Chains A and B, each alone.
Chain A
Amino acid sequence: MIRNWTKAALLGLALSTALVSVAEAAGVLTIGRREDGTTFDPIATAQNTDFWVFSNVFDVLVRVDKKGANLMPGIAESWDVSADALTYTFHLRDAKFSDGSALTSEDVAYSLTRIRDSELSLWSDSYKIIADMQTPDAKTLVVTLSGPSAPFLSTLAMPGASIVSKAAMEAMGEEAFAEKPVGSGAFMVDQWLRGDRVILKKNPNYWEADKVSLDGVEWISIPDDNTRMLAVQAGELDSAIFVPFSRVAELQKDPNLTVVIDPSTREDHLLLNHEHPPLDNPKVREAFDLAIDKQAIVETVLFGQGEVANSYIPKGALYHSDDNGARGFDAAKAKALLAEAGAEGITVNYVVNAGNEVDEQIAVLLQQQLATVGITANLQKVDPSQTWDMLVNGDYDLSVMYWTNDILDPDQKTTFVLGHDVNMNYMTRYKNDTVKQLVADARLEMDATKRAAMYGEIQKLAKADTHWIDLYYSPYISVTRKGVENFGQNPLGRFFLEETVKTY
């Protein structure tokens, strides 16, 4: 009897938990990621982890399409540009914030003023070009620029320029808002369990709410790659991002899973410190470029999930040029160049991010490749919190870094990398005044064909100088359970969760 009772009880318990979990799971998509977000104040972060969630919580004036090739209407239904390219008039659509209040031109002006002027903003410089904003009515915003700017529209699509509710921000205060924001995106923040997960639920006031299928989304942080993959394999998570390259082939074989590989704008490169002789000699830098077998990195570290990079502008991105004199792998020529420059048998200090598996693997591989042409690279593993300072201070010879584009236009990255900006051309200390001038000119050129030619020239000159060494382009790799559909990112990283469907 007792045995039967327990059996019945167990059965009942199993049934009830099964029912409960089904009821809960229906329509809520769980996504595993490496780390938790840092804030919900759009202007106060530059991290992909934050930006990728912002895209579905907030809206922007102008969006980037799925292919990452064109701008398309966001909150601005349409816009007119004056003939002198100084005045932009945006016509806003009828949209509401998650608290039900109407989104007006006032909110947009407030949000753009914040990113330009607030002390919290990490992006002030990119928006200094905005001289004035007028709101003739609730649906119209007139922006006047202090000078023509080709990349201006693209900067409005950056998640940092997300539109926040002025009333909510002022009522709650900036700190409280950063915990539980009021936006107009497809989802709204229900709960944020710091360090663990962000719980989003569907925003009934979203202007395209009828398109949204999911009831909610949970971004769950699971730092360990293996654990995160196991959680998806075991069905504890619906999906996970940051699939390690080494696991792709194996996960693709699992009939319960779909591996989603989306093109990205990520480009990994080897920084060279131009201030440290003999790296100040262009011949020596060219020798480094020739000595590195990038294909070997793609095969060994990326397990073939990527391709060799030939330009700092990622393949598929605006104004990428293949015709820039990118060099192949030629160890013999590298040796000859080093001999010519009198730099045989040199030793360099290679700063590696400790704990970053891919970084460490590239380091071990490059160390051997450089050794074959007589360059000794001493690896210095440093905690990632310290590497940035070391690069800024110039305490390095070589170091691998990466960049993902935040905006469609190449101007932002180009300015950081070649425009002789405050960051010493992305810590390389590269100097070329012709390139500097071209970067400044290209920003002002409104004709697309002429601009393309200018960027072609910039890429050629920078490559000839070996400002850094382009290593590889890699995609965004995610994994989902079978039955999760329309899950993916555009090359700038935006997830289209408003279109994602969970069929189980």
Chain B
Amino acid sequence: MTAALAPRHRLLRRPMLLAGLGLLGAFVVLAVFAPLIAPYDPIWQDSAARLVPPSAAHPFGTDNFGRDVFSRVIWGARVDLQMAVIGVVFPFLIGTAIGTVAGFFGGWIDALFMRVIDVVLAFPFLVLMLSIITILGPGLGSFYIAMALVGWVSYARLIRAQILVLKTQDFAVAAASLGFSRGRIMFRHLLPNALAGSLVFVMSDTVLVLLNGAAISYLGLGVQPPVAEWGIMVAEGQGFITQAWWITLFPGLAIVTLAFGFSLTGDALADLFGVQE
């Protein structure tokens, strides 16, 4: 066995990771190449072809405005992936920074942040999100801000717990006795070792964010029409579910499939890093 083959071999021995990454990759391809793949303009209304069932011309049928559901699902991948990624990145960054600082310094800094976290956690997640979005006004921007304001607490707690354990270990003590700066110890020595758990959590969190985003749009507070987004498509199709099931089914399946992809990847990563979720 050559060294070059080893990583591929390891990947092949992890079918879950392979399947998860494959699914995610497929959605990324859909999102990036949406204009090339989608047969129609996602917001073009064809009044002559309203509520057409799935056919060769419209594989997923058309909605009540005569818009092609297949094209809308593909374009929707752009918005939903963006929502999932941005909705996780900011909480992750903020939470990680705060968790590291709180765990490392301890004392009043730690106590202060922990109380703030308690306050945020005291409110039900979705209620807090909805209130923030209602104040800021509906839209994707508000959704991201609300996610950042509410979502960081989980990351902060995870990282803080890791840092608390790591900072008493020999390598950290050794680094401190060598006279390295606190910043260097925090971010070069402790943080990389603390991140594995967070990275696994990112994957499962993405699923939640995706579902939240879809739910917010479903309630009319997220993406605004006529943009194609899966949650909004499910909401819009609901009124027609008895006569045109395809408007709701396909975007619904897309949400489930993408969420499944993130889930699989998360589980596989947990396996790989030996993290217990």
* Chain A contacts to B: CB under 8 angstroms: 225-226, 229, 244, 246-247, 250, 296, 299-300, 354-355, 357, 360-361, 363-365, 367-368, 378-383
Q: Are A367 and B226 touching (Cβ within 8 A)?
A: yes
Considering the complex, give the chain B residue whose CB is closest to the CB of A361. Answer: B64
In the complex, whether B225 has a CB less than 8 A from a CB of chain A is yes
Q: Considering the complex of A and B, which 6 residue pairs feature the smallest CB-CB distances, nearest first?
A: A354-B220, A381-B220, A357-B239, A364-B225, A364-B226, A379-B224
CB atoms of B45 and A368 under 8 A apart? yes
A residues near B64, Cβ cutoff 8 Å: 246, 300, 361
**25 CB < 8 A contacts A-B:** A226-B241, A246-B240, A247-B242, A250-B243, A296-B47, A299-B47, A300-B45, A300-B47, A300-B64, A354-B138, A357-B239, A360-B220, A360-B225, A360-B236, A361-B64, A364-B45, A364-B225, A365-B45, A368-B45, A378-B224, A379-B226, A380-B138, A381-B138, A381-B221, A383-B134
Q: Is B82 an interface residue (CB 8 A)?
A: no
The 8 Å CB contact of A226, one of B219, B220, B239, is B239
- Distance from B257 Cβ to chain A, minimum over Cβ atoms (Å): 25
Expressed in whole angstroms, the Cα–Cα distance for A226 and B239 within the complex equals: 7
A379 and B225 form a contact (CB under 8 A): yes
B contacts with A, residue count (CB < 8 A) = 22
Q: Which residue of A lies closest to B45 (CB)?
A: A368
CA distance A250 to B244 in the complex (A): 12
- Neighbour of A381 across the interface among B224, B241, B243, CB < 8 A: B224
A364 touches B65 (CB 8 A): yes
Q: Is the CB of A355 within 8 A of B243?
A: no
Contacts of B137 in A (CB 8 A): 380
User: Using an 8 Å CB-CB cutoff, how does the interface string of B129-146 with A read, 1 for contact, 0 for none?
Assistant: 000001001100000000
Within 8 A of A (CB), among B107-161: 134, 137-138
In whole angstroms, what is the CA distance A361 to B232 when docked?
12
Contact A365 B65 (CB under 8 A): yes
> Of A225, A363, A364, A380, which contacts B239 at CB under 8 A?
A225
Query: With contacts A226-B239, A361-B64 known, is A300 near B226, CB below 8 A?
Result: no
> Is B21 an interface residue when CB atoms closer than 8 A count as contact?
no
List, in ascending order, chain A residues with CB within 8 A of B243's CB: 246-247, 250
Say yes or no: is B50 at the interface (Cβ < 8 Å to chain A).
yes
Whether A368 pairs with B219 at a CB distance below 8 angstroms is no
Q: Assuming the A-B contacts A300-B65, A354-B220, are A368 and B226 also in contact, with contact meaning beta carbons closer than 8 angstroms in the complex?
A: yes
Q: Which residues of B contact A365 (CB under 8 A)?
A: 45, 65
Beta-carbon nearest neighbor of B226 in chain A = A364
Task: List the B residue with the shortest CB-CB distance to A363.
Answer: B225
Please give, as numbers and ranges, the residues of chain A lying within 8 Å of B236 by CB-CB distance: 360
A296 to B46, CA, bound (A): 11
B89 interface residue (CB < 8 Å to A)? no
Q: Which of B229-275 contact A (CB under 8 A)?
A: 236, 238-243
Q: Is B172 an interface residue (CB 8 A)?
A: no
For the complex, give the distance between the alpha carbons of A357 and B232 in Å.
Answer: 12
In the bound complex, how far is the Cα of B239 from the Cα of A296, in angstroms?
19
Looking across the interface, which residue of chain B has its beta carbon closest to that of A354? Answer: B220
B43 part of interface (Cβ distance < 8 Å): yes
Query: Which of B43, B65, B138, B220 is most buried by chain A, counting CB atoms within 10 A of its CB?
Result: B220
**CA separation between A246 and B247, bound complex, in Å?**
14
How distant is B40 from chain A, measured CB to nearest CB, in Å? 14
Contact present for A382 and B225 (CB under 8 Å):
no
Knowing A300-B47, A300-B50 touch, does A367 contact B225 (C-beta < 8 A)? yes
Closest to B66 in A: A300
Additional pairs, 13, CB under 8 Å, beyond known A296-B47, A360-B236, A365-B45: A226-B242, A246-B64, A247-B243, A299-B47, A300-B45, A300-B64, A354-B221, A355-B219, A364-B65, A367-B226, A380-B137, A381-B138, A381-B221
CA distance A199 to B94 in the complex (A): 56
Give the Cβ gap from B61 to chain A, nearest Cβ, in Å: 15
Residue of B221, B225, B239, B240 with highest tally of chain A CB at under 10 A: B239
Distance from A49 Cβ to chain B, minimum over Cβ atoms (Å): 20
Within the assembled complex, what's the spacing in Å between the Cα atoms of A383 and B219? 10
Chain A residues, Cβ within 8 Å of B43: 368
Residues in A whose Cβ lies below 8 Å from that of B134? 383
Please measure, in the bound complex, the distance between the C-alpha atom of A363 and the C-alpha atom of B220, giving whole angstroms. 13
* Residue of A whose beta carbon sits closest to that of B238: A226
Which residues of B44-65 have CB atoms within 8 Å of chain A's CB atoms? 45, 47, 50, 64-65
Instruction: Give the CA-CA distance A300 to B138 in the complex, in Å.
Output: 26
A355 contacts B225, C-beta separation under 8 Å: no
A364 to B50, CA, bound (A): 14
Contact at B219–A354, with CB atoms within 8 Å?
Answer: yes
- Residues on the A chain within 8 Å of B50, using CB: 300
* Alpha-carbon distance between A360 and B64 when the two chains are bound, in angstroms: 12
Closest to B67 in A: A364
Known: A296-B47, A354-B219, A368-B226. A244 touches B65 (CB 8 A): no
Chain A residues positioned under 8 Å from B221 (CB to CB): 354, 381
Bound: A42/B85 CA distance, A: 54
B192 nearest CB across to chain A (Å):
44
Say how far B130's CB is from chain A's closest CB, in angstroms: 10
Whole-angstrom distance between the Cβ of A114 and the nearest chain B Cβ? 38
Q: How far is B64's CA from A296's CA once the two chains are assembled, in angstroms?
A: 12
Q: Which residues of B contact A247 (CB under 8 A)?
A: 242-243
Query: Which residues of B are found within 8 Å of A225, using beta-carbon distances?
Result: 239
- Whole-angstrom distance between the alpha carbons of A482 and B134 in the complex? 46
A119 to B224, CA, bound (A): 41
Q: Which residues of A contact B219 (CB under 8 A)?
A: 354-355
Give, as a whole number of angstroms, the nearest-CB distance from A159 to chain B: 30
A355, B220: Cβ atoms under 8 Å? yes
User: How many angstroms from the CA of A360 to the CA of B138 in the assembled complex?
Assistant: 15
CB contacts (< 8 Å) of B226 on chain A: these are 364, 367-368, 379
Closest chain A residue, CB of each to CB of B217: A381
